[in-house]
A and B are shown apart, each in its own frame.
Chain A
Amino acid sequence: MRELSLHILDVVENGITAGAHCISIQVEESTARDRLQITIRDDGRGMPAEKTRNLSDPFVTTRTTRRVGLGLSLLAAAARRCEGDIRVNTETGRGTEVTAFFRRSHIDRAPLGDMAATMGMLIIGNPHLDFVYVHRVDEREFVLDTRELKAELEGLSLSEPVVVQHLMESMRRSLNELASDPGKEKFKEDIDGQADN
């Protein structure tokens, strides 16, 4: 896929199919360790632990409609291209956790891409579920928690396209700030600002 955010969308959809109520997505970028890690955790029905042995094989799937499941195979291929890999922790009744890690500066590492669009589409398509998105770049962090949003928005439903559009715009702004390299001035701004703490 062209962007890692599309892989994330895909794996989260797996969690939704597994009956999850809350799905957390964590993206951690470390320039010092040259590593990008994506962790997606759901509280759905999980799978028997033995199933994880061949999960990157497209012919191993929990789907019943077809004998092929492409999502994790493609993610594994993307990670392995970048000196990384995927790991899946799961247990029946205990949910599933999918971790993918990449060498961040690898030339073949796809960009993370439009996470605001991925989160927006997940929220609008599943307003009854909750999503928590945490994105860390070195010391900086962005958090989106639909549980908090729903509490704050008091009655404005997250199933309304206009609400989700505004949400996506705010998120894009915040993520752009996160992505920019910290110069001395920016750091000073954070110290002086302290608006969010």
Chain B
Amino acid sequence: MAKLTIDDLKHIKEQTTKSTALRQGGARVKVTVHMGTCGIAAGARDVMNVLMQEMAEADRQDIRVVTAGCMGMCSSEPNVTVEVLDSEPIVYQHMDANRMRQVFRRHALLGEVQTDFALGKL
């Protein structure tokens, strides 16, 4: 019966530094990927995948990634909402892998709203 072997798990443990086991403080930034049926059909899983890769590289404890359902703007899916503490939430539309990278690096990390892809403020 094929499973993840003990070696696979040991490999995972070795590759991950001890610092990832600690998580302190609250979140300053929340990124929501909308994963309703419309979002999934439009490619939200791949957007989420890229976001996860970026999160792994950035290794920031103050950014939280969550999934949510459909907001009702199905024709502009995949939608991603970025909320920075003390700023208004921004809804990004028609997201894809490249746009997600850009939005994460410029908005989530640096606080610069990417107005080209943004719907507007909620």
**Chain A residues within CB distance 8 Å of chain B:** 1, 6, 9-10, 13, 17, 65-66, 69-71, 74, 117-118, 120-121, 124-126, 140-144, 149, 152-153, 155-157, 160-167, 170-171, 174, 177-178, 195-197
Complex Cα spacing A13 to B67, Å: 10
6 additional A-B pairs beyond A74-B41, A166-B12, A197-B1, beta carbons within 8 Å, are A9-B40, A13-B35, A117-B46, A125-B48, A165-B52, A196-B2
Choose one: A124, A149, A177; the contact of B65 (CB below 8 Å).
A124
> B: which residues have CB within 8 A of A?
1-6, 8-9, 11-13, 15-16, 20-21, 23, 35-38, 40-41, 45-46, 48-49, 52-53, 55-56, 59, 65-67, 69-70, 72
| Interchain CA distance A197-B9 in the complex, whole Å | 16
When chains A and B are docked, how far (Å) is the Cα of A164 from the Cα of B45?
14
A66-B72, A165-B53 as given contacts; A9 in contact with B2, CB under 8 Å: no
A-chain residues with CB within 8 Å of residue B70 when the two chains form the complex: 66
Q: Which one of B45, B66, B72 lies within 8 Å of A9 (CB-CB)?
A: B45
